Amino acid sequence: MTATHRGTGTQTGTDPDTQERRRRIATALEAAGIAQQTNERTTELTANANVVLERRYLSKDREGNILEDSVGMFRRVAKNLSLADENYGASEDERQATEDKFFLAMQRLELLPNSPTLMNAGRELQQLSACFVLPIDDALDSIFDKVKQTALIHKSGGGTGFSFNRLRPEGDVVGSTGGIASGPVSFIRAFDAATDVVKQGGTRRGANMGILNVDHPDVEKFITAKEDGKNLSNFNISVAVNSDFMERVKANQEYDLINPRTKKVTGQRNAKKIFDLLTNMAWKTGDPGLIFLDLINRDNPNPQLGEIESTNPCGEQPLLPHESCNLASINVARMVTIAEGDTVMNWERLDETIDIAVHMLDNVIDMNNYPIPEIAEMSRKTRRIGLGVMGFSDLLIQMGVRYDSDEALQMAEDLMQHIQERTNHASSELAQLRGSFPAWDGSIYNRPGTSGGVRPMRNSAPTTIAPTGTISIIAGASSGIEPLFALSYVRNVMDNTKLVEGNPYFEAVARQEGFYSEELMEDLAKTGSLENLDIPEWVKGVFRVSHDIAPDWHVKMQGAVQKFVDNSVSKTINFPNDATVEEIAGAYMLAYELGCKGITVYRDGSKDGQV
């Protein structure tokens, strides 16, 4: 049913150009006071941000009494991370200047590190990384040793990724006992059960990524492992594929299955049939996703240390075995100046924030208390960091640009190219002061006589696009590069707390353009989208929500951003409930053709307990 909300602003059917849309939005943001906050770099935490901070981030005593506020948390983190400067000869005045820079960037909500850093820096745990990958060898002691290490990582607030590809298939002979192997899927269940037992540090649910190569003999069992909607609830699962497999899907050809123990071909499967099974399961449950491992290893910054075989739980961070990564995200919605009815990118502010972020993330590596020695050794060897963005959808709104448009794709490319180049520059500058990362000699940054040449780098592969789930709530920003999920909705967070959220940009525009009403906001809370409401068409165009956007535009945006990101991009490709399996398959194929390093889809209503 179409609601009728007619205001005094532009009438439905008119479509001002981008510049005019931007002028109207800027005027609305100035009238609402939002522009002043952005320009003057002041902040006001939302009610939802305060709820999340109190529940999960702020220091508490043994009785659960809160010992700090947000300012105290940012100061705690900034002070702790600044101490790493002393390792490089900084005076106390210089260390204090670093602390103040870190503090201001966080307090202004322009830059936030990943959750474990906010939670643990300057506290007893001092485990600051979000992402870990553990290798699993085909031996019982190795498998259960990794179960124990997983528990330690989850207890400290981290998430883990695994490739189960080295494990022999179900039914294979176990030489030492003459028994029969139970296969990778049975062991994944052991990791899942361990995750249930250890809730992540009491503040983050344990999260895992399980990966199996498409040529493993048990690939069909793996693809269907989550079919009942009950198994492996603590795992995202993805099938690792390569270009050869995808081309065989297109050509409807067979491919070989290989026993990882013997390295011998054990049979063949039709690539198209396996792909169809995979997309059917993704339609039904959201799993498995695809990981394009050949693309990931093409960009492996340290091939001399081995091949990458897995990613972190959300897929944005490919890592070598025993490698970890600490992430941070810049709130690009605050990298603008809004004045005199216009909004422009503040590139100087963005560059300043990138430089601070690289410095901060490098310090995290030195201050980190790693959960196991092998991870400490590898992480310090590669010094991998992951700087990304949040608030991208907010930025598009400020600029008057529709998310599902060529203009938005170009904006994404331009923004990420700038961030990529400046991040590499900042890491190079830091290398001049502190030295390149220890594994630099054999890395892609030391290739004399090639197009890459020789470049000092303090950090491996420094850009990543994370989902920014809770830190974007703290920042009052849209998540990662995702479109808005809704303009007004109730969000479920841990402990069954419900948070009601409305979009401040939309409310400002609605008031300025004269179509704001309580009735409109109530309708929006029910529907989430403007599509069927009688308001100006240009407003509908700018304030598109995830389910208004065709899936291929989600994939196109991921592909545009991936062009200028070292690691990978966390992005959910949203489908309506009535989407077909063929549409899911089309998205998977488009992701391959656009050079994405992975893809995750979600069909509305295909999982219980939807956030």
Answer yes or no: is 173 within a domain.
Answer: yes
Q: For residues 52 and 314, give the distance between their C-alpha atoms in angstroms, rounded to a whole number.
A: 21
Which pLDDT score, from 0 to 100, does residue 556 have?
99
pLDDT band at 2 (very low <50, low <70, confident <90, very high): very low
In this prediction, residues 505-532 reach a mean pLDDT of: 89
Which pLDDT score, from 0 to 100, does residue 196 have?
87
In this prediction, residues 446-451 reach a mean pLDDT of: 87
Identify any residues that bridge with 446 across adjacent strands, giving them in sequence order.
454
In the residue annotation, 314 being an active-site residue is answered as yes
| pLDDT exceeds 90 at position 139 | yes
| pLDDT exceeds 70 at position 467 | yes
| pLDDT exceeds 70 at position 323 | yes
In this prediction, residues 505-515 reach a mean pLDDT of: 96
Answer yes or no: is 41 within a domain.
Answer: no
Answer yes or no: is 59 within a domain.
Answer: no
Dihedral, CA atoms, 81, 87, 91, 97, nearest 10 degrees?
A: -20
pLDDT tens-digit map of 549-596: 999 999 999 999 999 999 999 999 999 999 999 999 999 999 999 999
Nearest to 287 by CA among 207, 187, 211: 211
Residue 494 one-letter amino acid: M
Nearest to 459 by CA among 596, 297, 323, 308: 323
- Please give the residue range of the domain that contains residue 295: 136-311
Answer yes or no: is 272 within a domain.
Answer: yes
Spatial CB neighbours of 422, under 8 Å, sequence gap ≥ 6: 350, 351, 354, 355
Q: Which of 316, 323, 482, 507 is catalytic?
A: 316
| pLDDT exceeds 70 at position 609 | no
Q: For residues 540 and 509, give the distance between their C-alpha atoms in angstroms, rounded to a whole number.
A: 11
Dihedral, CA atoms, 52, 328, 99, 371, nearest 10 degrees?
A: 80
- Using CB atoms within 10 Å of the CB of residue 2, give its burial: 0 to 12 exposed, 13 to 18 middle, 19+ buried: exposed
| pLDDT exceeds 50 at position 11 | no
Answer yes or no: is 199 within a domain.
Answer: yes
Tokens representing residue 484 in the block: 């808005």
3-state SS class at 480: coil
| pLDDT exceeds 90 at position 525 | no
Identify any residues that bridge with 210 across adjacent strands, giving them in sequence order.
162, 237
Answer yes or no: is 289 within a domain.
Answer: yes
Q: For residues 493 and 486, give the distance between their C-alpha atoms in angstroms, rounded to a whole number.
A: 16
Provide the domain count of the chain.
1
Q: Which of 312, 326, 331, 446 is catalytic?
A: 312
pLDDT tens-digit map of 527-543: 888 988 889 999 999 99
In this prediction, residues 426-449 reach a mean pLDDT of: 97
Q: Which of 131, 314, 325, 596 is catalytic?
A: 314
Nearest to 349 by CA among 291, 395, 409: 395
Q: Which contacts qualify for 372-377: CB closer than 8 Å, 24 or more apart?
A: 372/149, 372/152, 372/153, 374/322, 375/132, 375/322, 375/323, 375/324, 377/322
What single-letter DSSP state applies at residue 320? -
Q: For residues 79 and 586, give the distance between their C-alpha atoms in angstroms, rounded to a whole number.
A: 49
3-state SS class at 389: strand
pLDDT tens-digit map of 65-110: 999 999 999 999 999 999 999 999 999 999 999 999 999 999 999 9
Alpha helices per DSSP H over 467-515: 469-475, 504-513
In this prediction, residues 450-469 reach a mean pLDDT of: 93
Q: Are strands 208-213 and 159-163 parallel, antiparallel or unpaired?
A: parallel
3-state SS class at 212: strand
- How many other C-beta atoms are found inside a 10 Å radius of the C-beta of residue 419? 26
Tokens representing residue 423 in the block: 């991040």
Tokens representing residue 125 in the block: 């745990």
pLDDT tens-digit map of 150-172: 999 998 889 999 999 999 999 99
- How many other C-beta atoms are found inside a 10 Å radius of the C-beta of residue 453? 10
pLDDT tens-digit map of 336-391: 999 888 999 999 999 999 999 999 999 999 999 999 999 999 999 999 999 999 99
| pLDDT exceeds 90 at position 204 | no
Answer yes or no: is 294 within a domain.
Answer: yes
Whole-number mean pLDDT of the chain?
A: 93
What single-letter DSSP state applies at residue 606? S
Which pLDDT score, from 0 to 100, does residue 409 have?
98
Comparison of pLDDT for 180 and 186, the residue scoring more: 186
Which pLDDT score, from 0 to 100, does residue 146 have?
97
- How many other C-beta atoms are found inside a 10 Å radius of the C-beta of residue 558? 29
pLDDT tens-digit map of 283-321: 999 999 999 999 999 999 999 999 999 999 999 999 999
In the residue annotation, 30 being an active-site residue is answered as no
Answer yes or no: is 191 within a domain.
Answer: yes
What is the CB-side half-sphere exposure of residue 252 using CA atoms within 13 A?
Answer: 0
Q: Is-contact 256 242, C-beta < 8 A?
A: no
In the residue annotation, 316 being an active-site residue is answered as yes
